[in-house]
A and B are shown apart, each in its own frame.
Chain A
Amino acid sequence: MNHLIYLYGTDWGMGQFPICSVWMILFTPLVAAALITLLTGRQKGLSAALSIGAILISFALSLRLFLLFALKGIQHHPHPIQWLVVGNTVRINFGMTTDALALLMLLVVTGVGSAIHIYSLGYMKGDPGFSRFFACMSLFTFSMLGIVISSNFIQIFIFWELVGVSSYLLIGYWFERPSAADAGNKAFLTTRIGDVGMMLGILLLWSHAHTFEFTELKAKLPTLGLPVGTLALIGALIFAGAVGKSAQVPLHVWLPDAMEGPTPVSALIHAATMVAAGVYMLCRISWLILPSQTALWLIAWIGAITALMAATIAIAQNDIKRILAYSTLSQLGYMVMAVGLGGPTQAMFHLTTHAFFKALLFLGAGSVIIALHHEQDIWKMGGLWKKTPITFWTFLIGTLALAGVPPLSGFYSKDEILLLAIERNPMLFVMAVATAFLTAYYMGREVFVVFFGKPRDYHAYDHAQESPWVMTLPLIFLAALSIVAGWYSKVPDFLGPPHEAQRHSSLLTGGLILVPLFGFLVAAKIYWKAEPSDAPVKVALGNLWTLVENKYYFDELYHWIIQYVQGTIAIVCDVFDRWILQRLGIGGLSVGTGLLGRTVRLLQTGSISGYAFLIGLGVTVIIYYAVVR
């Protein structure tokens, strides 16, 4: 009977929720991925139905769990499954966390994920790898949910890597294009660099605390009395994992290239889930970071630099998705900065709203791309607002939300972070405000160039039409969420005690409202015309424009490092291997053995009398040693 309670919970009455359903949230997408791969690969419709059905089930169960918690305060704590025990020191569980943080994230992942899955039906129509696409999507969803519910470091690391693998599959989905395959590699390898740091941090922490469990660590940490330096090192190392996954400077280079993947993938991975995993992980372990001022300082600055730098790069990009990619970098910088400023609650709030409007923007961009038959250059678009009205209006909502225009969701979440910044670190506040201005500016540029003005490619324009309902419906759903997500003012409180920065002056709020409006005004002045162009900005910025257009030459720098530093090391190793190891070591051994072999062969003369002599000699020697001596 005990195991039944263990599996299904204690009470079957109303308000209770079978525990196995909690596990179902996690495993349904995995089952779907397995079924598609093994059985239904040939039936495209069935594969898509399985994948979409799976994430909808996960979404429904997450929603129910969330509502039970939010409305009735009922929480579930499934027992962890003991997974690996090595001696007395290493215990690894497979557990499940269902606290407020995890529930919110579950809802975001499955909710936005559902919209994106449905949207993919339209976007991927007619693609030869249709079933493979949905299998990968389901695998990715499983991995991401795994990160969310993980209850210990090893578990989160395993799912962390699984996310890396499945994102590699999705980014390189069109693997026949070399650029897509390269982008997949780049994403995987770059994030791996951060993961190594994360693993080191986990092990360093374990060597002091002897447990991987979050709850145990949280309780144990204050009693350990770790030196300040060690604590900062652990925090920084684990943060390295987040730097990789959430694409912070200096490991941000993979995210823009990852736009080679299909647009729904960009929306799923690079807006709502994978890149948010880094921020989520930081929030999950905020108890570890908050005590260390050094780690906080590092995190805040990395976040702020990423936010501002990505925003400046975004003003000079020409690819509709790349602009959004840099915008994502910039917003992730905000969230990381918020964590670094000691506000994981604010970070999660922005993560949530951002997931809605950035997914909306990506899907809107995808809708434009499909309408123009896979055209991504914004300078070949123009005047589309009449042709694709639903896409235009939802994209506009997303833009306003991202820029932080009230009363849309982005305003509230960004406001929280800005208020936190002015209170804790004015320098970062200035950078954040500059970023906010730039955000409004580059999003304004994108909207004006893509949807207004004269069409620049009449052939494509004439054939352009609104996307089918499977694509527009998710847009509307996400647009609605982008509007209202900030209204429910309890969202930040839901995660923890309300922050004192709530007591901000109305003057400051008013000022902050003006920032994005000012950005839009500047963008409108330059780009809201029949034939917009970058020329005036280029002249005004001069060399600075070249610098941001080339993304501060990060890729070139890394290329140079790889070519020269790694190349030099390789040459040294090669020389060592070739001359020392092969010639002297292996070569010497092989020549030596060969000579010995030939010597042995000399004994084998083929003459019987010689052989008989050898045997006789052998017997004599043996007997001499054994008997006479």
Chain B
Amino acid sequence: MMSLYAIQLECLISIWGILILLVDAFKPIPNKRTVGYLAAGFVAVALLYSFAMQPVPDTFFHGMFRLDPFALYFKRLFLLALAAVLLMAAEFSPRIESGVAEFYALLMFCAVGMLLIASVNDFILLFVSLELVTITFYVLASYLRRQIPSLEAGTKYLILGALSSGFTVYGIAYIFGTTGTTNFDKLAEILNSQTGPPASAFIFGMLLVLTGLGFKIASVPFQVWAPDVYQGAPTPVTAFLAVGSKAAGFALLLRVLYTGLLPVSLSWNALIAVLAGATLLYGNLGAIPQHNIKRLLGYSSIGHAGYMLMGVAAVNALGAGAVLFYLGQYAFTNLCAFLAIIAVTAATGSDEIPSFSGLGKRSPILGLALFLSMMSLAGIPPLSGFFGKFQLFAAVVQRAQTDSKYYVLAAIGAVAVVISLYFYLGVGRAIYLQEAEDATPIVVSKPMRFGLVVCMVAMIGIGIFQRPLVHASIMAAKVFSLH
């Protein structure tokens, strides 16, 4: 029974997804928007329910599954993202030619994979849940199957994703071969008991696993897919990639690095730090010449992976909490941006940045939402992004007290922040300073308006009253034995 308690959220979402499929097959509801709103509403209820759940110290399913504060933190984050993405999908549904219900259901199944990822405590479950997420994303990315960009996005994601999955499973085999276990806790025990540097074969396996995770979070050098897929995929899928998939990647990365591989942290932290710096520069520099907002956000998501990798590389309690906080606020910020983009694209049919000109006048709420989210992504106080970046930099600087090379990382991060101002402000300039060619007002539906307001309030609220989220992220980060 306890095992069932542990996976109740996963069960709930799966059942609801299957129900949508069945109802649509036997008694279709003509208005697909309503179905989307209903699904979003149900997920919102599940999100509220998740706050009633308590963390459990035990593991489940033979040590594979955990329901600790860390897992719950991520589960709530994924449910939030799912609810918002379903809302977007409902707005987006007129552009999907067929299989709208399946679209919703796939999003939910994908989210189930993410919910599992939050609790992963074993390489086997890691691979299974990761594949559940990735394979549904292959389908989702190419869902607009008559549109070449969407198909192209799906294909690219499929091929490159398969490549990285191959690396991952190969790496898991090496780790199992050298240590004889796939369980994170046992792995940590074994590594702790060893003296001297770990074996080369083990390091080789570890690096291959990290490759797969690097692909998920779009870190250099596994980031090449991100701009193309972000641009080509249907916008709700892009949003889910940016918020859900990225958070899932970080959940795995933190879990693997900070439990199983924590004893050998000295053999990976320098690598993560170097990758963080490279990712920061690549994402922020690459974003400068972009004209398409989804592509811009693709590069931006690479850049933000870089920021969060800074926190991972710090290997301290402050850094782990900072990454969690950053992911939390990043979800609201990015969802806000994508909600606004979907509403604008629905009206203009274009997601090129010039088509956002004069948005402030065409729809004040959309203009404000997009502007605020850009400013939050750029890290301008008092929005939530500022405090997120602040914590990450604080973590790196703390680490730099003992290892002064980390100051270089902090400096690269600072340069990246300055560069990022340039292209985020470019979007802001289009919204408020440039005249629209077509000045007809854009109508925003009520659920959309609600979603936007929630995200904006969260962005400003978290920026000013950081305490609740900081508290939650610190509690979640306490599951790792970091200092």
Contact = CB atoms under 8 A, between A and B. Distances in A.
B288 A606 contact: no
Contacts of B282: 600
Contacts of B373: none
Interface stretch (A108-116, A133-141, A549-557, A615-623): A615-623
B481 interface: no
Given A597-B289, A612-B160, A615-B222, A604 B211 contact: no
Contacts of A627: 200, 203-204, 207
A618 B218 CA distance: 13
- Where chain B touches its partner, the secondary structure class is helix
Nearest to B422: A593
B53 interface: no
Nearest to B163: A612
Contact of B221 (A608, A618, A625): A618
Contacts of B447: none
B419 A611 contact: no
Contacts, number: 76
Nearest to A619: B211
B274 to A, nearest CB: 9
Given A597-B286, A615-B215, A615-B224, A623 B163 contact: no
Interface string B279-313: 00010011111000000000000000000000000
B228 A596 contact: no
B156 A617 contact: no
A571 interface: no
A593 B164 contact: no
Interface residues of A, number: 27
Contacts of A590: 422
A603 to B, nearest CB: 7
A623 B204 contact: yes
Interface in B158-175: 159-160, 163-164, 167
- Where chain A touches its partner, the secondary structure class is helix
Nearest to B211: A619
B159 A612 contact: yes
Contact of A601 (B200, B222, B286): B286
B225 A611 contact: yes
B267 interface: yes
A604 B227 contact: yes
Interface residues of B, number: 31
Given A615-B215, A618-B220, A608 B156 contact: yes
A606 B222 CA distance: 14
Interface in B137-170: 155-156, 159-160, 163-164, 167
A596 B285 CA distance: 7
A138 to B, nearest CB: 36
Interface of B: 155-156, 159-160, 163-164, 167, 200, 203-204, 207-208, 211, 215, 220-222, 224-225, 227-228, 267, 271, 282, 285-289, 419, 422
Given A593-B285, A596-B285, A612-B163, 14 more contacts: A593-B288, A597-B286, A597-B289, A600-B282, A606-B228, A608-B159, A618-B221, A618-B222, A619-B167, A619-B208, A619-B211, A623-B207, A623-B208, A627-B200
29 contacts: A593-B285, A593-B419, A593-B422, A597-B285, A597-B286, A597-B287, A598-B289, A600-B285, A600-B286, A601-B286, A603-B224, A604-B227, A608-B156, A611-B156, A611-B224, A612-B160, A614-B221, A615-B160, A615-B164, A615-B211, A615-B222, A618-B211, A619-B207, A622-B211, A622-B221, A623-B207, A626-B203, A626-B271, A627-B203
5 cross-chain pairs, A with B, having the tightest CB-CB distances, nearest first:
A618-B221, A597-B288, A600-B286, A611-B224, A597-B285
Interface of A: 590, 593-594, 596-601, 603-604, 606, 608, 611-612, 614-619, 621-623, 625-627
